[in-house]
Amino acid sequence: MKQVIRAIGAGMLALGILSSAGIARADDKVTLGVAIPTADHGFTGGIVWWANKAKADLEKAHPNLKVIVKTAAGSPEQANQLQDLVTVNRINALVIFPFESASLTQPVAQVKKKGVYVTVVDRGLTDTSAQDAYVAGDNTAFGRIPAEYLAKALDGRGDIVALRGIPTTLDNERWSAFTGVLKAYPKIKILDAKYANWNRDDAFKVMQDYLTRFKHIDAVWAADDDMAVGVLKAIDQAKRSDIKIVFGGAGSKGMVKNVMDGAPLTKADVSYSPKFIYDAIKLTAEARLKGEKLPATTIIPSVLITKENAKDFYFPDSPF
């Protein structure tokens, strides 16, 4: 009789009849979908690498766990993948790194309504009721730390240009924190801020535009290390000597190596490792295998990287 009850309970869970607040027993099989962007730049390359490593490590450690990783090149593709994960793969847990915030909120909400436990990573949704848990780096610190560093390095005065990521809640958090610090420094002027999509080539083009329009720039905040690479290339090609600092973000191995080596324009960075996707998958899978939930929010700290501590953030074998 117990076996019959178990079979019925597992079937109901697979069909999404149980609510997300329902109980997942320790002997239930967890089928966890992972929806992430394709590796279109260094950081998302790291996301894909860490997600697949989590799949390999966790499936080996937990026989009752199946992890299905899907990558998408855009929001419509990711929304379609969510439907497939529910209807074809019969997932009962989801970890999603949304391609964009607003356009993925409703598709994720529909998944949750089917009884799937949802953990959102990094790029938050515009309606948090569509998720059970949120795991991210410290986006406030990601924006605050560069602003504090630049304000001190420029002695409270100068002209700055900025390159943002893509329109997401996390980008808004970073930008609000960055500009919030600089409100205390009226002699620091932000000449312009444009989206460069966390992409080297896009950042190169945006920086070329800045260099053409602005004859004097003291510092650049490129809110991602990949964008900082594009910025540095544009500065080098233009042979501009007025720019004193290029501050990126996320602690890529290339940028951290620059900090370690004392590169003239990149003397600092801020940590924000793509490994948090691994942590989110592991936390979610192990909690659901035990029939437990995660805290509503888990924030992984971001810290200033300088020559003094750069070795602690340098991982030459990582993809990012």
User: What are the pLDDT digits (tens) for 290-308?
Assistant: 999 999 999 989 999 999 9
> Residue 6's pLDDT is what?
37
Residues comprising the chain, all counted: 320
Q: Above pLDDT 90, what percent of the chain?
A: 81
- Average pLDDT (36-63) is 93
Cβ atoms of 118 and 132 within 8 Å: the answer is: yes
Mean pLDDT for 102-111 is 96
* Residue among 241, 239, 272 nearest 255 (CA): 272
Q: Say how many C-beta atoms besides its own lie within 10 A of residue 183's C-beta.
A: 9
Q: Mean pLDDT check: name the lowest of 155-159, 211-215, 291-295, 311-315.
A: 311-315
Q: Quote the CA–CA distance of 109 and 91 in Å, as a whole number.
A: 15
Lowest model confidence (mean pLDDT) among 16-30, 32-46, 127-141, 178-192: 16-30
249-to-146, 155, 187, 206, 243 alpha-carbon distances in Å: 8, 21, 24, 17, 18
pLDDT for 110-131, tens place per residue?
A: 999 999 999 999 888 999 999 9
* Average pLDDT of every residue of the chain: 91
- The percent of residues in the chain predicted with pLDDT above 70, rounded, is 92
Domains of the chain in sequence order? 2-138+274-300 (3.40.50.2300), 139-271 (3.40.50.2300)
Q: Do residues 32 and 94 touch, judged by C-beta distance below 8 A?
A: yes
Q: Is the pLDDT score of 20 beyond 70?
A: no
Q: Does pTM top 0.75 for this prediction?
A: no
As a whole number of angstroms, the distance between CA 36 and CA 99 comes to 7
Average pLDDT, integer, range 258-265: 96
**CA terminus-to-terminus distance, the chain:** 52
Confidence (pLDDT) at 57: 97
